[in-house]
Amino acid sequence: MLPIITEDISAEVFSEVFPDPQNWRKNMVQYLKDENPEINAAILEVAKHNETIDLKAVALGAYLTYRLLDIANNSESNEDLEV
């Protein structure tokens, strides 16, 4: 089951992303190369198969989703420890 993404988590991630989406995306590429290279490769592979989609937009959306789920998952893990 996927973790629940709360409004607080969304606000936190959006405050990271929206001041400079291009730079944030580039930083996420580097982060995921180390953290989860298979996910990074899958994200980049999507645009290779269809030249009509914008690779940067796909990557931004995918990295944004990854970050939201990562924070939500870590939040749920921390809540489980508090019980």
Inform me whether the pLDDT recorded for 83 exceeds 50. no
Find the mean pLDDT for residues 65-82.
81
Judge whether 48 lies within some domain: yes
Nearest partner of 32 among 69, 77, 6, judged by Cα: 69
Residue 40 lies in a domain: yes
What pTM was computed for the model? Answer: 0.82
Q: List pLDDT tens digits, range 6-30.
A: 999 999 999 999 999 999 999 998 9
If phi > 0 it is left, if psi is from -120 to 50 it is alpha, else beta; for residue 5 that is beta
15 occurs within a structural domain: yes
Position 78 pLDDT exceeds 50: yes
Residue 1 has what DSSP assignment? -
The torsion angles phi and psi of 82, rounded to 5 degrees, stand at -75, -15
Mean of the pLDDT values across residues 40-60?
83
Contact predicate 69/2, CB 8 Å = yes
Number of domains in the chain: 1
Domain annotation covers residue 83: no
